[in-house]
Amino acid sequence: MPRLATATCIEDLRRMAQRRVPRMFYDYVASGSWTESTYRANVDDFQRLKFRQRVAVDIGTRNLRSTMIGTGVSMPVALAPTGLTGMVCGDGEILAARAAERVGVPFTLSTMSICSIEDVAEHTSRPFWFQLYVMRDRTFMRRLIARAKAAGCSALVLTLDLQVMGQRHKDIKNGLTAPPRPTLRNLLDLATKPHWCWSLSRTRRRGFGNILGHVEGVSDMSSLASWTNDQFDPTLCWDDIAWIKEAWGGKLVVKGIMDAEDARHAVRCGADALIVSNHGGRQLDGAPSSIAALPHIVAEVGNDIEVWFDGGIRSGQDVLRAIALGAKGTFIGRAFLYGLGAGGQAGVERALAIIAKELDISMAFCGRTDIGGVDRSILLNPQIFDDLTKI
């Protein structure tokens, strides 16, 4: 898609996606909960970290390659689990997974995906990761874990910060459903999104593929909505992780850690990695940004577990800042979804190429040639978030 070549930054892809994706799904991606203060802080707080520029250093050969829980990656970046990805573009999860495979970074499939675990496995050749929510229906959860194992998923990412749903005003006002209801407002919006309509017309995947047909009594979108509303489990506690880890039997990652004490719990429960994340500012509004929480968690458990980072990354420079503060890997969500909305698989590949180039050049300006050697010394003010309360 030639016009993608004109995109030189993630913001360019965001604007393209906004023009092509129906409003309810664009707003689902590009918004947070309540006043969106945490959503905005996730992005804005990166800019408070200033680089220490170096010169006259031999930067002729540079390396971005790394590992994440033993998996070789072309750069320390993974595609985060995002619900409704197949509503941003038809077969969106498959296209994103293919893009990640081509670039050489991990892809994580959400429980609330449109394409199922089996769909993605059928259309890719590289093992991907699967993200799991804790639900009341433990039988369904065990079946879901078994399906992920059968599909060859190489890691399970357990999300801990969605015991209850955050108040997302735009989703409520838009009447978010998958697929969209045929209301006059929606039909008028869809009439201006021909590329999206075409992409959805070419696929049969328009519901939540991991759930529809896999839960007793859930056979259509109406019964699915009722089931889903009751399923997120507010009784989730650290003891639940033991049986999940046993049922899975492989690499386990816990996502949603924003507190040093919770990070220590993650270590004790035997997780292989944790992800510092506030769910993209979509859950507790008024919480600190993910980047502000990162240094304290690294200080608490960085020697005991791989600490990864998620939240607000819109450039390769943001990746570099997170690595400098101790993250061993990073996740992008909105950044790749903007690429997907702008141009399908090619758009996701473009987003990853933009981030890789920005990461490479920024690292060079800081006088470093290997991502494995990046540390806090590339920042002029790495202590900027030290005023956060430590627990």
Residues tagged active-site: 279
| Alpha-carbon distances of 225 from 15, 69, 83, rounded to whole Å | 31, 35, 14
Six-digit token string for 199? 């992409």
Give the number of other CB atoms < 10 A from CB of residue 310.
27
Rounded Cα distance, 2 and 371, in Å:
31
Cis peptide before 180 (omega within 30 of 0): no
Any long-range contacts for 119-124 (C-beta under 8 Å, 24+ apart)? 119/91, 119/93, 119/94, 119/205, 119/209, 120/93, 120/94, 120/151, 121/151, 121/152, 121/153, 123/94, 123/97, 123/98, 124/94, 124/97, 124/98
Q: Tell me which residue has tokens 């699915």.
A: 224
- Positive or negative torsion for Cα 64, 102, 319, 362: positive
329 sits in which H/E element: strand 329-332
Question: Looking at residue 302, what DSSP letter applies?
Answer: T
Cα 361 to its chain centre, rounded Å, is: 24
Check: CB of residue 328 under 8 Å from CB of residue 306. yes
DSSP β-bridge partners for residue 331: 78, 310
Q: How would you label 227-265 residue by residue, b for 16+ Cβ within 10 Å and e otherwise?
A: bbeebebeebeeebbeebbeebeebbbbbbbbbbebbbb
Rounded Cα distance, 385 and 391, in Å:
14
Helices (H), 104-239: 117-122, 138-150, 169-174, 184-190, 194-201, 221-229
DSSP string of 29-73? HS--STT-HHHHHHHHGGGGS-B----S---SS-B--EEETTEEE
